[in-house]
Structure 1
Amino acid sequence: MVRSANAANVEAIERAIVAKRRLRLKYRAASTRATTWRDVDPAALRLADSELYLVGWDLGKEDWRIFKVARVEVAQLRDEPSEPHGVFDEARLFENSVRVWVADPVDVVVRLTPEVAHLVEEYPLHPNQRATKAPDGGVVVRARVAGTLEALRWVLGWGRAAEALEPSAFRLLVAEELRAAVKPYGRGLSKKSTPDPVSRGVRRNPATTERGRSPKAEPSP
């Protein structure tokens, strides 16, 4: 199921691909939310995580670009035919992509804890990743990816079970993202506000005292 894509825009894009015609897109950038008009020669539609993406040659950028269809506000079919721009090799374009992101390749290394190590093949970082068992039962994942944005999301998705190891810039990026995520939860918290083991669902042993020692028997009267 495709989420959030405007049906009229999808139809215009599909018609442009089939008829080999140029598109004019009013496109909203994810980072700045600013909208710009882009002239694009469309090549293909790609589905990833229930989201539709347009692969096309951006005439203004003079390069292949990926457009999330949900951020296309207007898609106009032009009279001009699209141009080939060389041989379109989709497999090569997405060779290092985790999902659909296209950028310069980066070699990353991530460690997963023993608790989730068995899931590394079920939820891979990249199809060409190399996973090596660690002495503690965890796993170290090495992969060449397109940029670090999608790899960052993959690491964050594991929570405390993942640690970015290399490169140092990627490790720093993950650390900064985690610090920013934790910041709202640190406001107003103190040691007094920390829940006790009972409220956290941890059962106390009724045969122990506050410090965990068994109470001494009272002497007989």
Structure 2
Amino acid sequence: MTRIESKLQRLSQIEATLVDHPEGITRAELARRFNVHRSTILRNLADLTIPVYEEGDRIFIDRESYLINLRLNIHEIIFIHLAGRLMTSNIDRQNPHAASTLRKLSTAIQGLAPQISQFVKGSANTFDNGSKKQDPHYMQVLEVLTSGWARNQKIHLWYHSQETGPIKEYIFSPFFIEVGAFGQTIYVIGRLDPDGTYRTFKIDRVERIELLTEKYAIPEDFNPDDLLNNAWGIWFTNQEPVTIELHFSWRVAQRVKETLWHPTQRLILQEDGSIIWQGEIAEPREMVPWIRGWGADVEVLQPESLREEIKNETIRFMNLYGIFAGSKENEK
């Protein structure tokens, strides 16, 4: 191996070592690892094309600026494109990082699939054009949460649970960031200090946020899929899930059958073409907007509390539009 080949190999190894050591590493440790003098490591660090910095005597890779080498085939690229398209319909704010991701993909496949490249570029534009609102604070909150999650550093945040509610302070360890199925927003799931309880925060409601230096570790047994298995969207509890039973009319039966709405879903076909839908849901109230969207083509059979909630809301709708039980208009 020539000197140049040896140096290039060592530069690659130094990069991999820095990536594998988020806590940083000293020049002396690098010199011992690669069996070279510390002056050689100093020269090698200067030759690196990746973003590095020093704190005290330790060398770190800048994990927010570091560009990852990733090789994708056209089907994997289309998956990312579809995920981006789904995000555009679920998030109402601009996101320059999402736009940049799709533009890079568009450029990468321009020679391979030029027509698809143009469509991917168009998807990128939807993340930073005038169709979505600018919200620098929202992006700053998301970026700080991402940094804390990536670096395993705790977060100090100020949060209001409702628009008119009091602002409360929390020390928080982010374990997972999730897109909400409803409500056009993003949530973060993690653990509170000092009691260690799990908590979900809606990032729209974070008034202020700071990245702390204190480290945390995500438990090995933490699994967001297990935690959210019975959630309709993002709400989870320590209680047993509630059995939900809905009766869908024959008019929408085919549409209901086409989709797996929840992992615990069970469908019972009826002789008249209608369907009984059953599922085990952590928090039934989270289903209300979805149930409401089916209008008169769905009836809540159980639990009784959810049935009463939908019934009372129906009565409010009738009063709102001046429709009263037994009226001819109500029979249409």
TM superposition score normalised by structure 2: 0.53
Please report how far the alpha carbon of residue 31 of structure 1 lies from its aligned counterpart in structure 2 after TM superposition.
7.7
Query: Offset of 1:89 from its aligned partner?
Result: 1.3
How big is the shift at 1:183? Answer: 2.9
Q: CA deviation at 1:59?
A: 2.4
Pairwise CA distance, 1:87: 2.5
| Map of 1:134 onto structure 2 | 270
CA, structure 1 residues 84+159, in 2 after alignment: closer, same or farther (shift >3 Å)? same
* Residue pairs, 1:9-88, within 5 angstroms: 9-30=141-162, 33-49=165-181, 50-59=184-193, 62-84=196-218, 87-88=221-222
Q: Are the counterparts in 2 of residues 125 and 143 from structure 1 also a CA contact under 8 Å?
A: no
User: Structure 2 matches for 1:202-213, cutoff 5 A?
Assistant: none
1:145 and 2:145 matched: no
Q: Does 1:3 align with 2:135?
A: no
Counterpart position of 2:227: 93
Cα distance between partner residues in 1 of 2:227 and 2:316: 33
Measure, in 1, the Cα distance between the counterparts of 2:205 and 2:322.
34
What is the correspondence of 1:178-217 to structure 2 with a 5 Å cutoff?
178-186=314-322
Native 8 Å contact 1:42 1:54 kept in 2: yes
Q: Which runs of 4+ in 1 moved over 4 A?
A: none
- What is the deviation of 1:160? 0.7
**2:264 matches 1:156:** no
Distance in 1, matches of 2:260 and 2:165, equals 31
1:81-113 deviations in Å (ceiling 9; x for gaps): 124356211111001011111133111100000
More strand by share: 1
Separation (CA, whole Å) in 1 of partners of 2:163 and 2:246: 26
Shift of 1:146: 1.1
Larger mean CA deviation between 173-182 and 68-77 belongs to: 173-182
Q: Distance in 1 between matches of 2:142 and 2:167?
A: 18
- In the alignment, the residues of structure 2 paired with residue 61 and residue 115 of structure 1 have an alpha-carbon distance, to the nearest angstrom, of 50
Letter in 1 for 2:279: A
Aligned: 1:112 with 2:244: no
Tell me the TM-score normalized by structure 1.
Answer: 0.77
Q: Is the 8 A contact 1:125 1:154 kept in 2?
A: no
Q: Which runs of 5+ in 2 are unaligned?
A: 1-87, 94-134
- Percent identity between matched residues is 24
Q: Contact 2:232–2:283 (CA<8 Å) still a contact in 1?
A: no
Q: Is contact 1:114–1:137 with CA below 8 Å preserved after alignment? A: yes
Cα-Cα RMSD = 2.5
Provide the C-alpha distance between the structure 2 equivalents of 1:142 and 1:45, rounded to a whole number of angstroms.
28
State the 1:139 CA deviation: 0.4
Distance, in Å, in 2 between the alignment partners of 1:42 and 1:163 is 39
**Partner of 1:118: helix, strand, or coil?**
helix
Aligned to 1:166: 302
Contact 2:180 2:186 in 1 (8 A): yes
